Amino acid sequence: MTETPPAPTDPFAHDVLNAAEGLDPVNPAYGHVIRIATALNLIPIAIAASVADRLIMPRIEGPYGLVTTAAWLIALIAIAVLPTRRVARWGFKIGEGQLRVARGWLFRTDTIVPFVRVQHIDVGQGPVERLFGLSHLVVHTSGTHNSTVTLPGLHADLAAAMRETIRRHIQTDFA
């Protein structure tokens, strides 16, 4: 007896759907990269909310700590929970003559890039990605609308191998 995948409307079924669609997941360590980036963005906002709470609440005779608690709670949830969910919603497949990248849940994007449309390929690595041995693959295609497809969360060796695979296809197509 085979188990049927959950209906696409199930918000927690994305991992199963990616597997059912034959997509490979991005590296789970990418969650740490997102977590650090989120912290670097949200902690200054939470600190500003704490300062605003300290300065404003005494003047309006409101409960001190309410804004601070809410800001830090939202920041902690965003740092702890959301990155894992974002990573689970990325999938990719490099196939014969094309790269497929799928991401998102509420607004799902499924992009297929034929290698014959590829102009050039970049493998990038920021300092936090480098810390975890990850890279992102950027595929530039002909055209203007959606001409760049980025696939983050790849192990550095895998990103380089994917770049070489696409490069070989480009050379073969134009040879």
Instruction: Tell me the CATH number at 107.
Output: 2.30.29
Note whether 170 and 139 are same-domain residues.
yes
Report yes or no on 101 lying in a domain: yes
pLDDT tier at 147 (50, 70, 90 boundaries)? Answer: confident
106 shares its domain with 148: yes
State how beta strands 90-95 and 24-25 pair: antiparallel
**Going by C-beta distance under 8 Å and a sequence separation of 6 or more, which residues neighbour residue 153?**
26, 27, 29, 30, 33, 87, 90, 134, 136
**pLDDT at position 139:** 95
What is residue 3's predicted lDDT score, i.e. its pLDDT? 45
Whether residues 108 and 170 fall in one domain:
yes
Which range in 62-66, 79-83, 170-174 is most confidently predicted, on average pLDDT?
A: 79-83
- When pLDDT is averaged across residues 81-107 and rounded to a whole number, the result is 91
Rg (CA), the chain: 21
Q: Residue 172 — pLDDT band, cuts 50, 70, 90? A: low
- Give pTM, 2 decimals: 0.76
Flag whether pLDDT at 62 surpasses 90.
Answer: no
More confident residue, 142 or 32: 32
Task: With respect to residue 7, please indicate whether it lies within any of the assigned structural domains.
Answer: no
Q: What is the mean pLDDT of the chain?
A: 84
Parent domain of 129: 91-174
Do 166 and 127 have their domain in common? yes
> Which of 122, 120, 147 lies closest to 135 in space, CA to CA?
122
What pLDDT is recorded for position 13?
46
